[in-house]
Structures are given as structure tokens and as C-alpha cells.
Amino acid sequence: MSDNAPQRPDGLNDTPGMQPRVQVEPTPAHPADATQVNKTTEMPGAGAHAAEHAAGHAAPHTETVSRTVVKTKTKGFPIFLSSLAGLAVGAVLVIALVMTGALNIDRGGSVTAATPDSTTQSIEIDPEDTTLAETVAAKALPSVVSISTEIDSSSSMAGGSSGSSGNIGSGVILDTDGNILTNNHVVEGATSIVVTLDDGSSFEAELVGADSSSDLAVIKLTNADGASLTPIEIGDSDDLSVGEWVMAIGSPFGNEQSVSTGIVSALYRSTALSSTSGTSIYANMIQTDAAINPGNSGGALVNDQGELIGINSVIESYSGSSSGVGFAIPVNYAKNIADQIIAGKTPVHSYLGVTLTSVNAWNARQNNLAVDSGAYVNEVVADGPAAQAGIQQGDIITAVNDEAITSADGLIIAIREHEVGEKVTLTVMRGTEEQQVEVTLGSDEALQAEQQDATEGNGSGGNNMTEEQFLQYLQELMGGGMR
């Protein structure tokens, strides 16, 4: 993966030689006589991990900065009159806005926020000295947690080295039972999970379930008093507009309860990224310029009402740190997956029922294909959605609902953008003839069960391949294997 490709801001890794410059404890300490530490920001690499070194005591030094100030004479009286006139016009405008209701000033001095479990939090706000960011942060911060994990480095996931490592990420409180929504890559492979709340208290947590395909997971506090939890208010990610104000909340580089603000830069961004457990498909993501860094993963993206609209998950950067291009999984999708996990179900996704190869200029020429881009259908699953719609082996899918498809990955992502049971129209090249085929998307539940059985059967995590399977995989990866 190139340095500027989208990547997950995985959080901080505690492996030797890869430590943050500023030591972060699970519960930040605030000594009365804090020592000043010289901090140097180091850009993380593609794994989005920051390097940690012991901070030395630098000798104090004095810096003298010279500035040249150019003064000009002004005529004070005309400026005074202009200022006075401006103040008068401004006062009239404010009074008019208040009287018409366009400027809504809360004279009560407090805001009461309802949560999904009918608990409320009363926040005292001074209407004379309040900004939007302060109000939203006061409401949403108690619902966002910091997550630290330990991973057994002797496992294959950690590369086989001895010792232990871990990640720091974020999560969002869903209910007073202690269920917390986060990214799968924050807690994947964790042998222990510790959650730190907004008030600094820490609790152990256990994994309820995960969906690596969507990079979402739910963990649950094991010994927390439900009355001390503040579930976040859920918004509607289908109701977002480009340019809308947003706030990202999480623990960037382990700095707990940090906020950053920005706007919705774009909607419906999609990509697929490889992980230790397969490929995670990120469909219809929210793009934002609010700063998202390693450690923000699993944290909240909220709107100007303090409502959760997304789970911060991916950044696009040359350095691995924030470059103003971050992405969040829409809350409508994330909450649906979380609800299935909490209910003990296997999360399901839309399913077409085909195996695919990407079409490119080289294999199109080699196989005399009518087009040089698209998704070539290698096989059609019997009785699957594609088979029932009449899709055949050898077809090339070039569009979904008139949106161009240029590769197999592109088709997989496009299908994931739709719901189980939804109808989509595929543009198909069959030989030299273009056709429109309507398909009702199915569920991949049976496929997931089959893969799980295979994994348990060989005891290998499902990653062992025979030589023949590996060669077939390479053929498909390079655009070959067409029959």
C-alpha cells in the first residue's frame, strides 16, 4: 500500500522501539507541579503508530525575536464616527434577529440532553459566554471513552515475537448496560481491554462481538455501574449535507478526550483495506477535515446537536497523521451492525453470489473481451441472487445503477453500499451485447457460516492455501484465470 493510500489510524503501539514521545497513562495524571517537556511531533508510518522515546531534560534557553513595527498616522475623528455608526447598525440588527427568532438565545442558562435509554444530563451553560464547540463538547464528551488493549505478541497476528503489545483507541457508549461501539481494528486480537471514562475512572471490558468485514466491534464493561454511564444521542447520517459542521472526539496519540472541529467535506466515499482477518469494506463513508489521528479510531463524529453521526475509522495521508482527509463510518450503518452484535446475531451484508476477476487492458486483449474494464464473472453460485437474475459465467459487469464499475473490488464495494433485499440494476456485457439485469441482493449469512465452519475445521484460521489455490489466487490478482 502506498504512503498516500487510505489507512486506519490504528492507535499507538507499545512494542519496544515504537513508543510515543509523551508517555500516556490509562488515566492521565495531573500533578500540581507539572514539568515542562519538549515535544517533537513524529509522523507515523503506514501502520499509523507513533515512536516513543524517553524525553530528555533540555537546558532552558532564551530566544530574542526582533520585529519592525510601522506606525502610520490616522485621522481619529472620522474613524470614531464610522465605528459609532457601525455599532448602532449592529445593535439594531441583533435586536431584529432576536425579535424574529432567527437568533435563538437560551435565557434559561441550561441544556437538557435526552439519551436513548431515557436518562438525561443537565448542562449549565452561560448564554453570555458560550460557543457552539463548547456546548457540543459538554454534551458529547461524557459519551466517548478511551480504549487501551494488550495483545499477546507470541500470536501470529503480532508477528511471532515474544512479549506483549497493545493499541490505544476510542469508543462510544451506546447504553447504560455498558455496551460500547468501536472499530474492530482497535480491539482485534486483544487479550485484555481497559476502558477509561470521561471522569477518569477505568473499567475492564470484554468483547461482545465483531464484524471484521465492516471494521466494527462492540465491547462491554464488566463491572461498571450503569448509572455512571452517559449513552450518546444517535443522529441520522442519511440527513447529512456537505459543508455541515462536525466535531471529532477521541484519544489521538493517547491524548484522551480530545476534540477537533471541521465540516463534512464529502459523502459516499468508499474503499477496501486489507487486515489480519481479511478485507474490510468501508462503504458510503463521511469525509471530514476535522483532525483524525492514530488513537481517534472508534471515536465519535458528532453534529452541531451533539448527536452521533459517524465512527471515525480511516485517514488518507502521506505521513499517517491527519492531513485534513479523514473518514467516518455512517452511524446508521454502524448502529445496525452493533444492534445485531448485541442481539447475539451474526452481522449480515448484501450478497450477489459470484466470484470475480478484474478486467484490464492486458487481459481484455488476451481474451478478446469487448471492454477493457469491469468485473468479470468467473463463477455464479447456484441459486444465489445473481443466478436467479440470469447472470452467467463470462459476463462482465460494468455498472451498478448506472455507476461505472472498473474492477472486481469496485463491484464488491458497490454491492456493500446497498441493503439486503434491495434491488439494483447491473449493466452487463455478454459477448458484444450490453444488457440491463435487475438483481435482488441476498444475505451473506450462509456464506459466513460456511467460512466459519471451514476455519474451525482446519484449525488454521482459514488462511492456509494449497499450492493450486495459491496459484489461482495469483492469477485472479493479476487479472488472469478467465475461463
- How many structural domains are present in the chain? 2
The pLDDT tens digits for 379-421 are 999 999 999 999 999 999 999 999 999 998 889 889 988 989 9
pLDDT tens for 156-183 read: 333 434 445 778 999 999 999 999 999 9
Of the three residues 345, 370, 390, the one that is the final residue of a domain is 345
Q: Of the residues 14, 198, 211, 215, which is catalytic?
A: 215
- Told to judge if 215 belongs to the known catalytic residues of this protein, a careful annotator would answer yes
366 in the same domain as 321: no
Instruction: Check whether residue 400 and residue 287 sit in a common domain.
Output: no
Task: Tell me the pLDDT tens digit for each residue of 425-460.
Answer: 999 999 999 999 999 999 888 777 666 665 455 444
Q: Which of 146, 297, 317, 350 is catalytic?
A: 297
- Give the model's pLDDT for residue 40: 35
| Paired sense of beta strands 110-114 and 120-124, if any | antiparallel
Residues 329, 308: Cα–Cα separation, whole Å: 11
153, 165, 185, 237: which is the annotated catalytic residue?
A: 185
Residue 320: pLDDT band with limits 50, 70, 90: confident
Residues 177 and 324 placed together within one structural domain of the fold: yes
Fill in the amino acid letter for 443.
Answer: S
Active site residue 185: yes
What is the span of the domain harbouring residue 402? 350-477
Per the annotation, the verdict on 297 as an active-site residue is yes
Looking at the structure, tell me whether residues 171 and 227 fall in a common domain: yes
| 368 and 291, same domain (yes or no) | no
Q: Would the pLDDT of 193 be above 90?
A: yes
| Mean predicted lDDT score pLDDT of the chain | 74
**For residue range 130-157, what is the model confidence (pLDDT) as tens digits?**
689 999 999 999 999 999 999 876 543 3
Domain boundary among 345, 377, 402: 345
Query: Residue range 330-335: average pLDDT?
Result: 94
Q: What does the pLDDT look like over 461-478, one tens digit per residue?
A: 444 444 444 444 444 443
Question: Which cell goes with 31?
Answer: 500533578
If asked whether residues 253 and 270 sit together in one domain, one would say yes
| Number of Cβ within a 10 Å radius of residue 265 | 18
